[in-house]
A and B are shown apart, each in its own frame.
Chain A
């Protein structure tokens, strides 16, 4: 990762009196693959559009390599974007679409054609160069949009949910294309998405946004295993979140009273959580074990099996505890066969203390609501 390329300092955006983005600070490093993720309406696309100059920040300063760029018009920036709608020009063919950026920069015709051809080849769509946009498949159009944005060899590429219109298997293929491109070109990718799997599969760092504010910035692993607040814990992955109150703390072990019973978790020395604090306990669905008999463990609770879903070979099992809470467990499908699951079957869920991540509950004042 290089030095800071984009710096957003207290950047906010309002439309009329509606707040799209609260004052935020963010550093985008040169050459990184940064994903901005959040539910729809969280301000992620607005943030991206401010980088491209399509929206002017209401407050704050955006700097590119140390220079304030707030006032730069979109065409004065080198921030090409791949649009959710792709926004390919329907009256131009594939080659002319790709050449567009070069044409606007006054590149002579022969050079334009040659550079466009190179990119079409690189993205394996050179055989479609003279086709109309309307006669391409979704995946091919995606590649045209990428070629069109990259043909001017920009220092950064902005992507606004580019894969949201593709089939699941194409998405995975395009992800490998994008990762490879980003590594080969060594330029910054800023990738807006609401899809965790896309963000986790590709990004070096992830920004989680909610209601116009940045909730957490970190590597995929940090976001996944060490969420800094309940929103992130709920938003990413299939975490189980159990509310409780700390009842004792000794030798790095916390005991928390919850509706389930006493849950044990580890706690670092610097963690300022004390008995009496309200906490959210985050337990990754993939870290919970299921057994037919009770097992001696840090945490073991009886629960009834109530249903399952499959995505590929991974099964998400739903259990109901005696307290009526639902707990999700993720297992490889073949591992679940030995359990002989049946609706209502009583089983035991257990997990180690070190798999529980303990979050201090944010009160509503801290949230600034």
Chain B
């Protein structure tokens, strides 16, 4: 009894420490984004919206946010589409070398980002499409598709195989069964895959930095500001990026867990 309580408490402390390590730096950055002092030091100066205002008025920021959103939206849609197709072939068919097929489909995130980024840059300049917004989209799609596949595949694994057959049996051809059964069933995971891949793309720095050329995304812009000097604008942008990604991930998580618990038949 007493030992159990001790273990419980130790685990609680451990958990608290983990959260502390993860969130204190982010919280610090957020706090300093409202601090009027130029240099991050204690005690804090007065409260200010000044840094947000500067960021807001800087056309470069808006340009970067526009590029980031365009890239995130497009590549998340493409990655989710590819991820869905891969997950569905895995669900539906059995074929030789399926193991290899799946391993290949899941490979990109396991490659060190810098290697992937360099390879992308080399390849894009070889075929002459480097330095465009399109090249970031292609590269992010490659990076994100495995995440989308993993999420959608989990949902498909919960699907009774008879559901699709039942649709055919009731007069649906393959396309109609896909539209009226498979997609509705996987819809929560499709939406959460969209959010998740959007978050990954929105956050991603390394590849974007290598292949973007003059089309800076938000993380690339942050680095460039940082290289110049210490600037509290970073804290403001950082807080904004954090809020966007956390929202996307939380939405993804809510959709996924809510739907999976309530729709079991």
Closest chain A residue, CB of each to CB of B184: A91
Tell me the B128-178 residues at the A interface (CB within 8 Å): 160, 162-163, 165-173, 176
Q: Does B180 contact A (CB under 8 A)?
A: yes
Q: Does A87 contact B (CB under 8 A)?
A: yes
A74 to B169, Cβ gap below 8 A? yes
B166 to A105, Cβ gap below 8 A? no
Instruction: Give CA–CA (A20, B181) in the complex, Å.
Output: 29
Q: Does B51 contact A (CB under 8 A)?
A: no
Instruction: Give CA–CA (A25, B170) in the complex, Å.
Output: 27
Q: How far is the CB of A161 from chain B (nearest CB, A)?
A: 12
Instruction: Give CA–CA (A103, B181) in the complex, Å.
Output: 13
A148 to B184, Cβ gap below 8 A? no
Pick the residue among A74, A89, A100, A141 that contacts B165 (CB under 8 A): A74
Instruction: Give CA–CA (A132, B172) in the complex, Å.
Output: 22
Instruction: Give CA–CA (A298, B170) in the complex, Å.
Output: 58
B169 to A90, Cβ gap below 8 A? no
Say whether, besides A134-B262, A134-B265, A83 and B166 are in contact (CB < 8 Å): yes
A85 to B162, Cβ gap below 8 A? yes
Chain B residues within an 8 Å CB radius of A86:
265
Closest chain B residue, CB of each to CB of A158: B169
Q: Mark A38-77, 1 if CB is under 8 A from B, else 0.
A: 0000000000000011100000000000000000011100
B169 to A79, Cβ gap below 8 A? yes
Say whether, besides A100-B180, A133-B265, A134-B264, A87 and B173 are in contact (CB < 8 Å): no
Q: Does A88 contact B (CB under 8 A)?
A: yes
Q: Does B229 contact A (CB under 8 A)?
A: no
Pick the residue among B163, B262, B263, B264 that contacts A87 (CB under 8 A): B163
Q: How far is the CB of A49 from chain B (nearest CB, A)?
A: 8
Q: Does A104 contact B (CB under 8 A)?
A: yes
Say whether, besides A90-B264, A90-B265, A91-B263, A54 and B170 are in contact (CB < 8 Å): no
A81 to B265, Cβ gap below 8 A? no
Q: Does A284 contact B (CB under 8 A)?
A: no
Q: Does A258 contact B (CB under 8 A)?
A: no
Q: Does B52 contact A (CB under 8 A)?
A: no
B185 to A91, Cβ gap below 8 A? yes
B160 to A87, Cβ gap below 8 A? yes
Q: How far is the CB of A26 from chain B (nearest CB, A)?
A: 21
Pick the residue among B167, B185, B265 that contacts A100 (CB under 8 A): B167
A148 to B170, Cβ gap below 8 A? yes
B184 to A73, Cβ gap below 8 A? no
Q: Does A220 contact B (CB under 8 A)?
A: no
Chain A residues within an 8 Å CB radius of B263:
90-91, 134
Chain B residues within an 8 Å CB radius of A87:
160, 162-163, 165-166
B173 to A75, Cβ gap below 8 A? yes
SS class of chain B's interface: helix, strand, loop or mixed? helix
Q: Mark B169-203, 1 if CB is under 8 A from A, else 0.
A: 11111001000110011010000000000000000
Tell me the A87-118 residues at the B interface (CB within 8 Å): 87-92, 100-101, 103-105
Tell me the A235-285 residues at the B interface (CB within 8 Å): none
Instruction: Give CA–CA (A141, B160) in the complex, Å.
Output: 16
Q: How far is the CB of A184 from chain B (nearest CB, A)?
A: 22
Q: Does A219 contact B (CB under 8 A)?
A: no
Instruction: Give CA–CA (A54, B163) in the complex, Å.
Output: 13
Q: How far is the CB of A345 from chain B (nearest CB, A)?
A: 52
Chain B residues within an 8 Å CB radius of A355:
none
Chain A residues within an 8 Å CB radius of B162:
83-85, 87
Say whether, besides A87-B162, A90-B185, A100-B180, A54 and B265 are in contact (CB < 8 Å): no
Chain B residues within an 8 Å CB radius of A79:
169
Instruction: Give CA–CA (A65, B263) in the complex, Å.
Output: 41
A54 to B264, Cβ gap below 8 A? no
Q: Does A336 contact B (CB under 8 A)?
A: no
Most buried by B among A73, A104, A133: A104
B168 to A85, Cβ gap below 8 A? no
Q: How far is the CB of A182 from chain B (nearest CB, A)?
A: 19
Chain B residues within an 8 Å CB radius of A31:
none
A104 to B170, Cβ gap below 8 A? yes
Chain B residues within an 8 Å CB radius of A54:
165, 168-169
Closest chain A residue, CB of each to CB of B262: A134
Pick the residue among B160, B169, B184, B262 that contacts A80 (CB under 8 A): B169
Instruction: Give CA–CA (A100, B185) in the complex, Å.
Output: 15
Chain B residues within an 8 Å CB radius of A84:
162
Chain A residues within an 8 Å CB radius of B165:
54, 74, 87
A104 to B166, Cβ gap below 8 A? no
Chain A residues within an 8 Å CB radius of B184:
89, 91-92
Q: How far is the CB of B181 from chain A (nearest CB, A)?
A: 6
Pick the residue among A85, A90, A101 that contacts B171 (CB under 8 A): A101
Most buried by B among A83, A92, A105, A152: A83
Q: How far is the CB of A51 from chain B (nearest CB, A)?
A: 11
Instruction: Give CA–CA (A265, B232) in the complex, Å.
Output: 104
Instruction: Give CA–CA (A148, B166) in the complex, Å.
Output: 10
- Given A74-B165, A104-B172, A149-B170, 14 other A-B contacts at CB below 8 A? A54-B165, A75-B169, A80-B170, A81-B169, A85-B160, A89-B184, A90-B185, A91-B184, A91-B263, A92-B184, A103-B180, A104-B171, A104-B176, A134-B264
List 18 contacting pairs A-B, 8 Å CB cutoff, sorted by A: A52-B169, A53-B168, A75-B168, A75-B172, A80-B169, A81-B166, A83-B166, A88-B265, A89-B166, A89-B167, A89-B181, A91-B185, A100-B167, A100-B170, A104-B167, A104-B170, A134-B264, A148-B170
Question: 8 nearest interchain CB pairs?
Answer: A87-B162, A104-B171, A87-B166, A74-B168, A90-B265, A101-B170, A104-B172, A90-B263
| Chain A interfacial positions (CB closer than 8 Å to B) | 52-54, 73-75, 79-81, 83-92, 100-101, 103-105, 133-134, 141, 148-149, 152
